[in-house]
Structure 1
């Protein structure tokens, strides 16, 4: 058994299982379509904006982690949708599907024994796959928590 097998399992659990946090799946489950584009009083973002930001940022970290031709995007413009409401129910569904797909791909990268979790990413400035996995988990947990709060403010939680 490789010495980093336990670390990989901890990372996968952190990325997928929520542990001390609500999971992405729980946070989006049962959200009525008519609430997806509403910014409630006291919140800066709608559920759509949070979902799209989660998807875009996660994709960007995945792209950086494996693409030697990675190009940085403009913050914050390229990381948030242009409107608070999704253009359609299909757009919401596509965003959820893409988030799940990219998370699965990132987990496969972590799980792959040929991935050196500690090696510096050649086109980065000191980042490692370990650091990027922790970044994805941290960023996702933060914004999934915001999504739960927004749902509470909308009266669409629990």
Structure 2
């Protein structure tokens, strides 16, 4: 595994995204933390939508960032939340695969994605701790 794959998927220097969402349910993810302007579910939805747009660019499925993309879409119900967690997990696997031998463009996009995601995955870890929902 190369450094970019590790940065996208965790494990060596920080918890893997799979660990950060392990055992998380909709009820816990939608609880508010005083002073925090979003829930865990909101944060995970943001991660999922920006990850998908970035991966579509990195893989060549699209050439430009989608106009009018709602980057804070929220999560309306438990079924949508379960699908969101699946999308996040699949996206992490896709990002790792793309990072194995990326083109120059893909490397730039995946590097940007890894920095963006590291920031937000840290927020996920903190919010889970504050909610008493850290995976054991």
| TM-score, normalised relative to structure 2 | 0.83
- C-alpha separation between the residues in 2 aligned to 1:108 and 1:20? 19
What is the Cα deviation at residue 140 of structure 1? 1.4
Does the CA contact (< 8 Å) of 1:40 and 1:154 recur in 2?
A: yes
Unaligned runs of 5+ in 2: none
Structure 2 residue 55 is the aligned partner of structure 1 residue 62: yes
Match status 1:148 vs 2:118 = no
Deviation digits for residues 67-109 of structure 1 (CA, Å, limit 9, x no counterpart): 34435333xx610124xxx333221111111112222222222
Larger Rg belongs to: 1
- Specify whether residues 32 and 101 from structure 1 end up closer, same or farther in structure 2 by C-alpha distance, changes over 3 A only: closer
Show the 5 A alignment for 1:74-113: 74=68, 78-82=70-74, 86-112=75-101
Root-mean-square deviation over aligned CA pairs = 2.1
* Alpha-carbon distance, 1:51 to partner: 0.8
- Unpaired segments of 5 or more residues in structure 1? 1-7, 119-127
Name the counterpart of 1:125.
Answer: none
Equivalent positions of 1:1-158 (< 5 A) are 9-65=2-58, 66-74=60-68, 78-82=70-74, 86-112=75-101, 115-116=102-103, 118=104, 128-157=105-134
Tell me, what secondary structure is at the counterpart of 2:7? helix
Corresponding pairs, count: 134
**In 2, Cα distance between equivalents of 1:130 and 1:69:** 15
Highest relative contact order (Cα 8 Å, sep 6+), 1 or 2? 2
